[in-house]
Structure 1
Amino acid sequence: MLKEVLVVEGKMDVAAINKAVEADCIVTGGFGLNTRTINDIRCAYKKRGIIIMTDPDAAGERIRRWLTRRFPAAKHAFIPQKEATAHNDIGVEQASAESIRKALAKIHAPKYNFNKEFSAADLLRNRLSGGMNASNRRAIVGAELGIGYANAKIFLQRLNTYGVTRAEFEQSVHDLPEEKEMGEEQK
């Protein structure tokens, strides 16, 4: 049983999580969180801690940002979009039990790092922004590091906020497939 309470978007997400791990969950019901749900999340946050595990899509990211502003010490689990896509749908409910366990094994808690380890130059130098396949490269590195997919600005913020070390970053970039292989993966 997880100590923290998982915050997810829908009831089907809970069903998928229950196949993977034993955990208590709170369902947001999408972006229209009602007062009772917010109070339930606040109570769980104070007593046990919460892990935000929203869908790896635009709506899920908006919910994650909204929750993070209100619960800044919340932990985060990210399922790569590729592992959460099935039947023309993206979401936690589409992920396998193994993918859910993998995401929970790479939980990140925000750390306030005033000496930023990574800069935009790191992203450019490693072809994670500003070029062809940068988006795909960020998706692969984000999955490897457990920080999820994001645009370059948010990706940089996550690198600096979630305690990713220089060694972890460099290893994940080193392990990237060749550009030719990445192009074939897209097809």
Structure 2
Amino acid sequence: MKIKEIIVVEGKDDTTAIKRAVDADTIETNGSSIGDAVIEQIKLAQQTRGVILFTDPDFPGEKIRKTIAELVPGCKHAFLPKSQARPKRGKGIGVEHASIDAIQQALESVKEEMTEFVSEIEFEDLLDAGLIGGNQAKDRRERLGILLKIGYTNGKQLHKRLQMFQISKVEFIHAVKKILQEETK
């Protein structure tokens, strides 16, 4: 599988994992304090080939994703569920621990960021679905992120991410129904 866009990852172990799974070029941020030179590289990559942000499904990874998306508009996004980013042994979470299959699936399900789309999904829909507040909200948001392939986010950011990736109300309702059905089993 050949990827046209340049994939932005956090470190060299992520690059190694990506290159095992697909034929692609990468840019490494080397941590969450992204230097100006790296941002300029990413801007150039976005202009010439396009960029896919593929960061770890943890707080630092989301911070990196958010920083780059703000500074380099129009990036595409690939997400791994936390369950697929854990090592077989030991601790940690990251792209470098994902299987070849999980990386390929994430890259096949890339989401494009859109700034002009207005979602039909209201904040009240998130409350009604139990995605904000309540004992099961975090688990439901995590499952929703997997089903819609938009990654996990906190309650505050969920509505923004649904808009950013143009998730329709029909897709949203279908995913919420599936989550509720899974909970009753």
Q: TM-score, normalised by structure 1?
A: 0.91
1:153 aligns with 2:163: no
Aligned residues, how many?
181
Residue 31 of structure 2: aligned partner: 30
The one-character-per-residue Cα deviations of 1:119-169 (angstroms, maximum 9, x if unpaired) are 221111111111111101111110111100000121111111101112211
Question: What amino acid does structure 2 have at the position aligned with 1:133?
Answer: Q
* Aligned match for 2:183, one of 163, 179, 182: 179
Distance 2:60 2:118 in 1: 31
Residue 136 of structure 2: aligned partner: 133
Distance 1:45 1:32 in 2: 20
The answer on whether the counterparts of 1:84 and 1:90 sit within 8 Å (CA) in structure 2 is yes
Q: Give the 5 Å matches for 1:36-185.
A: 36-86=37-87, 87-113=90-116, 115-176=118-179, 177-179=181-183
Distance 2:111 2:10 in 1: 19
Q: Which moved more, 1:58-67 or 1:106-115?
A: 106-115
Distance 1:88 1:138 in 2: 23
The answer on whether the counterparts of 1:50 and 1:75 sit within 8 Å (CA) in structure 2 is yes
SS in 2 for 1:26: strand
SS in 2 for 1:90: coil
Distance 1:168 1:100 in 2: 23
The answer on whether the counterparts of 1:113 and 1:160 sit within 8 Å (CA) in structure 2 is no
The answer on whether the counterparts of 2:119 and 2:166 sit within 8 Å (CA) in structure 1 is no
The one-character-per-residue Cα deviations of 1:39-66 (angstroms, maximum 9, x if unpaired) are 2212111100100011111111111111
The answer on whether the counterparts of 1:8 and 1:52 sit within 8 Å (CA) in structure 2 is yes
1:32 and 1:146, CA in 2 relative to 1: closer, same or farther beyond 3 A?
same
The sequence identity of aligned pairs, in percent, is 40
The answer on whether the counterparts of 1:106 and 1:145 sit within 8 Å (CA) in structure 2 is no
1:75 and 1:114, CA in 2 relative to 1: closer, same or farther beyond 3 A?
closer
Distance 1:46 1:152 in 2: 32
Instruction: Give the unaligned 5+ runs of structure 1.
Output: 182-187
The answer on whether the counterparts of 2:8 and 2:51 sit within 8 Å (CA) in structure 1 is yes
Instruction: Give the unaligned 5+ runs of structure 2.
Output: none
1:144 and 1:18, CA in 2 relative to 1: closer, same or farther beyond 3 A?
same
Q: Which moved more, 1:167-176 or 1:2-11?
A: 167-176
Distance 1:175 1:116 in 2: 21
SS in 2 for 1:7: strand
